């Protein structure tokens, strides 16, 4: 699924097909209007996962860390990445173009397992960083729920030696999230969620 297609999850019925428990969480949180469309106008948070290289050696494996603490449950609706080289070719009129094309093929592999209400294996094996959006879409077509205190097992490996002016280099994965009431998602029975959503017309009859 492409990022453009993922944005179609704006109606509770669409979410319910992919994740009935999430649909019930959104319903209980008052995120749904009378027509069944989601209210996405407020409660946004951005969460960044960062790996930073400060030496030039190739094949360095760096553990990625989040810069923000997860203080409540979050529905991750979108994911993006970038690679930054703040000192590379400073002053050159071509710096922005070079950095852009470098981010498309940065020679960086990543692994990412998110431990939340369930474990989301976004990429348990080393995968090129430029494939992270596709990996996310395959594992989590309607996004995923980060619980309060969720953790990330994530390592990034730079596969080539860096030039002197590429020190430091950062890979940043950004999660775009919507706040949810904490400790609700994990306490909803999927069977009861399906039954309730069917009764309300958000899922077809059995």
User: Given this model, what pLDDT does residue 112 score?
Assistant: 96
Three-state secondary structure call for residue 187: helix
User: Given this model, what pLDDT does residue 9 score?
Assistant: 80
CATH architecture label of 43-183: Sandwich (2.60)
> Which residues are registered as beta bridge partners of 158?
60, 108
Q: How far, in Å, CA of 116 to CA of 180, rounded? A: 14
User: Given this model, what pLDDT does residue 7 score?
Assistant: 53
pTM (2 decimals)?
Answer: 0.89
Q: How far, in Å, CA of 99 to CA of 17, rounded? A: 40
What are the residue boundaries of the structural domains of the chain, listed by start? 43-183
Q: Which residues contact 203 (CB under 8 A, 6 or more apart)?
A: 13, 16, 17, 20, 194, 197
Do 171 and 46 meet the contact criterion of CB atoms below 8 Å apart?
no
User: Given this model, what pLDDT does residue 158 score?
Assistant: 96
Q: How far, in Å, CA of 101 to CA of 95, rounded? A: 10
Mean per-residue pLDDT pooled into runs of 10, the chain (206 residues):
56 92 93 88 92 96 92 92 96 95 96 94 95 90 91 96 95 95 92 95 88
């Amino acid at each position: 699924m492409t990022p453009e297609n993922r944005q179609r999850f704006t109606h509770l019925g669409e979410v319910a097909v992919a994740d009935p428990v999430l649909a019930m969480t959104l319903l209980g949180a008052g995120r749904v209007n009378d027509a069944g469309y989601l209210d996405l106008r407020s409660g946004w948070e951005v969460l960044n996962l960062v790996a930073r290289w400060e030496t030039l050696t190739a094949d360095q494996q760096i553990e990625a860390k989040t810069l923000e603490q997860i203080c409540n449950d979050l529905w991750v609706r979108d994911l993006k990445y970038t690679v930054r080289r703040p000192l590379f070719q400073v002053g050159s009129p071509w710096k922005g173009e070079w950095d852009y094309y470098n981010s498309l093929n940065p020679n960086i592999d990543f692994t990412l397992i998110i431990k939340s209400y369930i474990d989301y294996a976004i990429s348990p094996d080393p995968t090129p960083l430029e494939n992270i959006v596709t990996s996310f879409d395959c594992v989590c077509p309607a996004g995923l729920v980060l619980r309060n205190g969720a953790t990330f097992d994530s390592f990034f490996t730079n596969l080539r030696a860096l030039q002197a002016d590429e020190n430091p280099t950062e890979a940043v994965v950004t999660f775009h999230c919507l706040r949810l009431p904490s400790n609700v998602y994990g306490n909803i029975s999927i069977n009861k969620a399906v039954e309730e959503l069917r009764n309300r017309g958000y899922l077809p009859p059995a």
